[in-house]
Amino acid sequence: MPTHILKLHTFALSTIAVAMLTACGGGGGGSGGGSAKTGFLSGTVIDGYIEGAKVCLDVNSNGACDTGEPTATTDSGGKYKLDTGSISTSGLTVIAEIPDTAKDSDDNGLTLLAAGKSAYTMAAPATESSVVTPITTLIVGKVKTDNLSAATAKGRVLEELGLASDTNPYEDHVAAGNSIVQGTARQLAAQLQQAQKNLPAGTTPQERLAKLQEAVKAMQDAAGSVALKSQDADPLNLPLTLSTVATGSLFAYKMPSAMGKQINATAMLFTPKSVPPPGGWPLVVFGHGTVGVAQSCAPSVTMKATGNWEYASVVASLLSQGMVVVAPDYEGMGSSAMGVEAGHPYLDLGSAGRSMALAAVGAKKLMTTQLSGAWATMGHSQGGHAALAGAQFAGLAKKQEPSLNYKGAIAIAPASNLQMSLNTMWSGIQASSLNPASYATGYNAVEISNFYAAYVVKGTQSTPAPLTPSDVFGARMLAVYNAKVGTECFSSFSSSVSTSVGQYAVTNGATPAGYTGFINAAINATNVTRVLNSNEPGQMKLPGNTLIVQGSADTTVLPSSTRALLATMQSKGSQVTLSYHDSVAATHGGVLAVPAAQAAVTNHLNSMFTAH
């Protein structure tokens, strides 16, 4: 969101070991909470609905569909029915072997292979077989690899995925319209596909599920571990505002990407130039606003090159108050020398949440007892969205580093309700086109809305649910998108959008609504709505105490969008307060300098870190 205009280790398993790993009921609790069934088992295989999957009841508990076991193939709606006869399902697993010739309903009739996906295997407890999904696969896996009861495994999985504790993983989330679970399932499917693709050549079908589960566990266990610490004598080139109060370092930590790979992500770590207090400093994970989506736009990269950072004074203030700050660059942004690979999933909730939460884990592992363990998230604009996403993944942070104790969030002008904002802007653009005196206001909204939309669409290209740019943009904005969005950072790209709009505005008969930019109907299409809704923050009860700061003169994150976010969070039972500032100075970036907003932030931090 703009800040002013807007080798895996594998091992051979004996037949007995395989059976032990793949038999449901590890940990003394079984794989499912239901009772044993006989006769028939039916259900649905879902990422989207999967057609052409081979489904079986794994009677011999070897993790594969073998001759003689009850087997079926899913239809176009992902449905299957197994004739289990007199076989008791207690302690057994339903396996779904999904070849690359299968079709996912999310892919508009394409096979997995044609959609750029690959074969993978999923599972569900036979006693909870109404759906077989990536989430049920993780639950089965945790029962086996972590020796947990089914109930405990379910709770752990939901927590690590940033899902509400009352989420029913055995529900058809597509039919229920649960966009958050849909988005999570898509990313997990990508992780399962990637893990299966990476299995050693010669892996037999009977070994596949067990090794797949071990691979996923290895990735999960590594999340938040420090991969690399920069040995550069001056890794950040701190601006004076920061160098007077802090020392800075740069490190890379492991995290799962939105596409299911294990990647390096970078974060800047700022430590006060003082002695740690008894018990250690509290930690703030700070999320930056939009800087672009190119790898080179990362704050750690641009600050090293220029000695400047627009959030230097904000972060310096936190350090002056006795807090350590870690600031992630986010997934896909940062130096290739630190092992970062390009591909930033802009405003992707899971990616942002993991970037923030696992940066806290990395910081704690580096600083150990110098940090108290108390931590909070804070951010502006895109970073406000990340702060709320980080709260959602606080459970993951604690699982990876038990000494971490999450306190709450500060979200300043947080990106939210993107579809609502774009629709509101479009209505304003149409209205302004009726009166030449309002054209300037209309063209400003055209620039802001197209800037937003371009980064959102580009961000989806690094996720399992990419949007097609030509479906979303008209000719003029599509030309800018294709030429500029993936290479230009914030200022340059905003200028490119402005130039395109300006060139149009001087043509005969031009009106703001006539600019061939984002297509409003496309923004409201089912596939776009599904993507946008799955990345909305605050749709579950968040831990800790949240403060939202909003300015009345913000034309980038609209006050109406923030009020809708507030209402959603309150309806979910989150402890949340709005600090609203009615002033012409309280613009998108200006609100950061409003004294009353600064006081609200300071008071909230003090209340979080002094509370027992």
Tell me: the pLDDT tens digits for 321-331?
999 999 999 99
With b meaning 16 or more CB within 10 Å and e meaning fewer, what string describes 100-129?
A: eebbbbbbeeebbeebebbbbbbbbbbbbb
Cα distance between residue 343 and residue 353, in whole Å: 16
Q: Residue 428 — pLDDT band, cuts 50, 70, 90? A: very high
Residue 236 CB partners (closer than 8 Å, separation 6+):
248, 249, 250, 268, 300, 303, 304
Tell me the per-residue pLDDT of 276-288, one tens digit each, with 9 for 90 and over: 999 999 999 999 9
The pLDDT, as a whole number, for residue 379 is: 98
Please state which of the ranges 112-121, 143-152, 246-255 shows the lowest mean pLDDT.
143-152
Angle at 153 between CA 147 and CA 155, to 5 degrees: 150
Q: Taking residues 68-97, what's their average pLDDT? A: 94
pTM, two decimal places: 0.89
Average per-residue pLDDT for the chain:
92
Average pLDDT over residues 565-572: 98
Q: Is residue 92 within 8 Å of residue 58, measured between CB atoms?
A: yes
Q: How confident is the model at residue 37 (pLDDT cuts 50, 70, 90)?
A: low
Dump pLDDT digits (tens) for 134-169. Answer: 999 999 999 988 888 889 999 999 988 999 889 999
- Does domain 226-416+536-610 fall under CATH 3.40.50.1820? My reply is yes
How far is the C-alpha of 598 from the C-alpha of 120, rounded, in Å?
A: 50
Where are the alpha helices (H) located in 289-438, listed in sequence order?
299-306, 312-320, 349-367, 382-392, 394-400, 418-432
Q: CB count, 10 Å around CB of 71?
A: 17
Q: Rounded to whole angstroms, what are the CA distances from 150 to 5, 47, 89, 300, 386?
A: 49, 21, 15, 43, 31
12 contact partners, CB below 8 Å, separation of at least 6: none
- Going by their DSSP bridges, the two strands 54-57 and 71-73 should be labelled as antiparallel
**Sign of torsion over alpha carbons 76, 77, 78, 79:** negative
pLDDT range class, residue 205, cuts 50, 70, 90: confident
The domain spans of the chain are 15-222, 226-416+536-610, 418-533
* pLDDT > 70? residue 2: no
- Three-state SS at 153: helix
